[in-house]
Amino acid sequence: MEQDELLEEEEEQYQENKYLLFRLAGEVYGIMIGYVTDIIELKPVTYIPDMPAYVKGVINLRNKIIPVIDLRIRFGMPEREYDDRTCIIVITMGELSVGFIVDTVTEVKEILDTDISDPPKFNESGIDASYIAGLGKVHDEVKILIDVEHVLSQYDIQLLQTNANAKEGAVS
Amino acid sequence: MKMRSKITLGFVLVIIPFLVAVVWGVVSLQEASEGFTEYRELARDTNLAGRLQANMLMVRMSAKDFIISTSDDAHEAFEEHFTAMEGFMQEAQQSIENTERAKLIDEADERVTEYGEYFDKVFEESHAILDLQTQELDVAGP
């Protein structure tokens, strides 16, 4: 009985432990697959004025307007030319769908809770690392696990939501 | 009131709350048991959906890799993940009993089949392009 319960618990964690891994500036990052709804090749992005620099614009994905964010810029990394490996990972948080531009996606990997360490604390240095959910250890490598809900501030979410809705209205 | 009536009344007064407590306990226990069964079912479905989603993403990634490289490796990877995904899809269709969820799985299965058919077309077309290039263009020269 106890074994059954443990098995249940283990199974239950399955989806939570699966991460879509992608590369940004040579490092590997992970997003919980529960948030990921699509992976698409880079397509033409419509520029939206007066947006934060990391918001590259919007795309029309199957008649849905989705804001697209360049994660390199969002994380303060140097920009680079997009190539055929550049991808957009479409994630959904509640009613908002957002596309993250990444260098390339690599694989879906299971990382157990026991292999995840807490993110480093930068409170005193003033660095905002709240978007790091943890550091996953896979063999000798470290994967930076992203807390999707902290990549964007509440202000950003509202701004993107409003713009996407306005664009969607214009399209329909 | 006679002593006999008093004793009977006292007994009834004690037994009624006792019976109510017993019935309440049994009903609550049954509800908890049903809730737990539902929870286990939901946990199993979530687990299966997680596996399915993981394979769907792997299929999507290998399809993208094939479109970029048109390599045999990428095609093999696609077939491997697609077969695994079909397996999980079948498992989901057999084990998911909730009507609403089962309907969603059927819908997903239809779309997956459609996706597979379109990928086969992409595969055939990419080979046709390659054949044209090697057998016609390269032979004819610039």
Q: Among B40, B47, B57, select the one facing A20 at the smallest CB separation.
A: B57
pLDDT tens figures, B62-92: 998 898 888 889 999 999 999 999 999 998 8
Using CA atoms, how far apart are residues A157 and A151, in angstroms rounded to an integer?
A: 10
Per-residue pLDDT tens digits for A71-105 = 999 988 999 999 988 999 999 988 889 999 999 99
How many whole angstroms separate alpha carbon B116 and alpha carbon B104?
A: 18
A18-24/A116-117 β-pairing: unpaired
CATH code of the domain covering residue A76: 2.40.50.180
Strands A55-61 and A104-110: unpaired
pLDDT at A168: 66
CA B138 – CA A56 distance, rounded (Å): 41
| Residue A33 to residue B50, Cβ atoms within 8 A | yes
Q: Write the ipTM.
A: 0.73
**Quick check: A66 and A10 in contact, CB under 8 A?**
no
Measured in angstroms, the CA of A81 and the nearest CA of chain B are apart by 17
**H or E segment at A139?**
none
| Contact residues, chain B, for A18 at CB < 8 Å | 50, 53-54
Q: Which of B43, B53, B58 is opposite residue A12, by nearest beta carbon?
A: B43
Amino acid at B119: F
pLDDT digits (tens, 9 = 90+) for A119-149: 877 666 555 677 888 999 888 889 999 998 8
Strands A87-93 and A116-117: unpaired
In the sheet where A55-61 sits, what is the strand order?
A36-41, A87-93, A96-102, A64-70, A55-61
Interhelix angle B3-69/B99-132, nearest 10 degrees: 10
Nearest-neighbour CA in chain A from B108: distance (Å): 13
Instruction: List CB contacts of A145: < 8 A, sequence separation 6 or more.
Output: A19, A29, A30, A31, A32, A111, A116, A132, A133, A134, A135, A136
Asked whether the beta carbons of residue B49 and residue A15 sit closer than 8 angstroms, the reply is yes
| Domain count along chain A | 1
DSSP letter assigned to residue A114: G
Residue A59 pLDDT greater than 90, yes or no:
yes
Confirm or reject contact between B37 and chain A (CB < 8 A): no
> Domain of A166?
3-171
User: Which of A 93-152 lie inside 8 A of B, CB atoms?
Assistant: 105, 107-108
Report residue A5's pLDDT band, with 50, 70 and 90 as the boundaries.
low
Of A12-16, A97-101, A116-120, B47-51, give the range with the top mean pLDDT: A97-101
- The whole-number pLDDT of residue A130 equals 78
Q: Is B47 on the interface with A (CB under 8 A)?
A: yes
Distance CA A111, CA A143 (A): 9
Closest chain B residue by Cα to residue A84: B68
CB contact under 8 A, B46 and A12: yes
Looking at CA atoms only, how far is residue A169 from chain B in angstroms? 27
CA angle B101, B105, B108 (to 5 degrees): 140
User: Could A39 and B50 be called an inter-chain contact, meaning their C-beta atoms sit closer than 8 Å?
Assistant: no
- What number of helices (H) and strands (E) belong to chain B? 4, 0
**Is the separation of the CB atoms in A79 and A25 below 8 Å?**
no
